[in-house]
């Protein structure tokens, strides 16, 4: 009797498994659309606030710099956003702070910290609506790229965590796995984003007239005007007005407020990278203590 019961327990699961396999429906894979792609800005388009600020906040929780440093950083971001001016002097300052952000740091350490901090701080700040738009492009067989002034290593972490194709970001020079303190080219901001997408399109064989770009900022008009379809996401006032004049779709995923200033600073273009000075202080202190 025991052997009979045991035999039934062995046979029934096997039979159920075989029946399920036979009844399985094979879903035809989506055929890749190799000439179309989507390009998403990060700060306040894919993510609430500035990715570099979230990174700095993550470093603060690790005791790498003080809450006072973080507060000064937040105030600087807010002032920059309210003034909204990005003259050559501001861009030069942003370049210097971007260099300070990475100088002397190990690439592997920046990537590791970026992964940890994304999981702890950034993941919950992804706009669900924007993420769904990106997934729609992926489901259609199109590649999806982030395009941001954020350092490319952090941008890649965000793209990987979201299951996207890749990221275009500000590139810092390295030597033997260490950042030299020099940039390769300049900050990926404004017209530079459009040039980066043009270069990627040439390399990947993309038809830009079949591509889509998403951003919250008028600073990205060169990129938005480059592709066949532009979409304004959580737009600032200038981009909203431009989008209306050109009949671009506008999607606002913010709730209970328009583009008002909040406790978490919303970065605008170069302002996001300029804020990296706080994280630079943290990393420099960290490496001094490790020596």
Q: Which residues are catalytic?
A: 41, 43
Q: What is the greatest pairwise CA distance in the chain?
A: 88
**Tokens, residue 265:** 């600073």
Contact between 177 and 67 under an 8 Å Cβ cutoff? The reply is: no
In contact, 151 and 110? CB cutoff 8 Å: yes
Identify whether the C-beta of residue 155 lies closer than 8 Å to the C-beta of residue 169.
yes
Contact 144, 160 (CB under 8 A): no
Among the listed residues 50, 40, 85, the one whose alpha carbon sits nearest the alpha carbon of residue 272? 50
Helices 107-117 and 152-162: crossing angle in degrees, nearest 10, is: 40
3-state secondary structure (DSSP) of residue 80: helix
User: To which H or E segment does residue 282 belong?
Assistant: helix 277-290
Angle between helices 107-117 and 51-61 (to 10 degrees): 90
For the record, the structure tokens of 219 come out as: 């600073």
């Amino acid at each position: 009797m025991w052997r009979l019961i045991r035999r039934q327990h062995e046979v029934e699961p096997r039979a159920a498994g075989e029946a399920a396999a036979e009844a399985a429906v094979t879903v035809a894979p989506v055929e890749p659309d190799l000439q179309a792609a989507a390009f998403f800005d990060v700060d306040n388009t894919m993510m609430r606030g500035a990715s570099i600020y979230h990174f700095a906040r993550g470093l603060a929780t690790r005791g790498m710099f003080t809450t006072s440093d973080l507060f000064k950083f937040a105030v600087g971001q807010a002032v920059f956003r309210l003034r909204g001016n990005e003259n050559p002097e501001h861009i030069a300052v942003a370049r210097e702070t971007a260099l300070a952000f990475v100088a002397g740091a190990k690439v592997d350490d920046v990537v590791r910290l970026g992964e940890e901090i994304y999981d702890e701080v950034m993941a919950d700040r992804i706009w669900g609506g924007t993420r769904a738009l990106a997934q729609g492009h992926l489901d259609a067989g199109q590649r999806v790229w982030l395009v941001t002034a954020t350092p490319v290593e952090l941008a890649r972490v965000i793209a990987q965590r979201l299951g996207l194709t890749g990221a275009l970001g500000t590139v810092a020079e390295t030597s033997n796995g260490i950042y030299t303190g020099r940039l390769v080219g300049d900050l990926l901001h404004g017209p530079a984003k459009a040039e980066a997408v043009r270069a990627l399109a040439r390399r990947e064989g993309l038809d830009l007239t079949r591509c889509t770009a998403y951003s919250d900022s008028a600073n990205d008009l060169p990129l938005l005007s480059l592709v066949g379809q532009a979409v304004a996401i959580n737009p600032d006032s200038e981009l909203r007005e431009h989008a209306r004049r050109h009949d671009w779709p506008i999607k606002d995923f913010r709730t209970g407020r328009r583009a008002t200033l909040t406790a978490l600073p919303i970065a605008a273009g170069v302002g996001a990278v300029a804020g990296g000075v706080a994280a630079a202080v943290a990393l420099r202190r960290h490496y001094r203590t490790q020596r």
